[in-house]
Amino acid sequence: MFQALIQKAEGAVGSAVNKVAFRAAVAVPLVIAAGFGIAALTVTLTQAYGAALSYTIMAGVFVAMAAITAVIMSRKEPVAEPEAEEPATSVAEDVAKFATPLFDRETMVPLLATAGPIALPALLRLGARNLPLLVMAVIVALFYFGRSLGHESQSAEKPTANPAE
């Protein structure tokens, strides 16, 4: 009874996998060929117009391609709008109604006490794996905030000249 249904599902999955594999097999050589074509066009433009102008032309070509793609992708199919019976609440209002009781102290303390010992080792492993990134983030933050704090302290320390003396 279910054997026919299982075979039909296996056939559908196999067909979908075959379509994806075929599209990938066609797309990979096309992407590589497009790369070589772009390189050839860049070399030709460089010989004809010089490096700076040819790279500017290539940048313009890519911006134009991106704009055309954005216009095509942003076009939507006309969809019949359903009649609104009552004004719908926004997503932010719905989330606020749902999340307000979740952030009560009585809810958060037991949740953190339960999840803390489980999540802490995973967070420590994540931090250890990303230690160089964390160190760079701290250095950048210290550089950025140190400069802004340094300017504030310098402006506070500047003596004002007394013109009467």
Task: Give the model confidence (pLDDT) of 130-144 as tens digits.
Answer: 888 888 888 888 877
70 and 105 share one domain: no
Does residue 164 belong to any structural domain of this protein? no
pLDDT of residue 68: 87
Beta strands in 36-123 (DSSP E): none
Query: Given a cut of 90, is residue 76 above it in pLDDT?
Result: no
User: In sequence order, which residues have a C-beta less than 8 Å from that of residue 10 and are 6 or more positions away?
Assistant: none
Residue, of 106 and 86, whose pLDDT is higher? 106
Q: What is the largest CA-CA distance in the chain?
A: 106
CB 91 within 8 A of CB 74: no
d(CA 117, CA 100): 25
> Whose CA is closest to 130, among 122, 140, 118, 142?
122
pLDDT of residue 24: 78
pLDDT of residue 39: 92
**Residues found in the chain:** 165
Does residue 96 belong to any structural domain of this protein? no
Does residue 41 belong to any structural domain of this protein? yes
61 and 105 share one domain: no
Does residue 92 belong to any structural domain of this protein? no
Does residue 128 belong to any structural domain of this protein? yes
Q: What is the mean pLDDT of residues 116-130?
A: 81
Percent of the chain scoring above 70 in pLDDT: 69
Q: What is the pTM of this model?
A: 0.37
Q: Which of 74, 93, 121 is the last residue of a domain?
A: 74
Give the distance, in angstroms, between the CA of residue 14 and the centroid of all CA atoms in the same chain: 32
User: In sequence order, which residues have a C-beta less than 8 Å from that of residue 46 and are 6 or more positions away?
Assistant: 54, 55
Does residue 80 belong to any structural domain of this protein? no
27 and 66 share one domain: yes
pLDDT of residue 47: 93
Torsion of CA 82, 85, 86, 89, to 10 degrees: -20
Number of domains present in the structure of the chain: 2
Domain that holds residue 24: 12-74
Query: Given a cut of 80, is residue 88 above it in pLDDT?
Result: no
Does residue 48 belong to any structural domain of this protein? yes
User: In sequence order, which residues have a C-beta less than 8 Å from that of residue 108 and are 6 or more positions away?
Assistant: 102
67 and 121 share one domain: no
Query: Given a cut of 80, is residue 5 above it in pLDDT?
Result: no
**Span 9-46, pLDDT tens digits:** 777 777 777 777 777 787 888 889 888 999 999 999 99
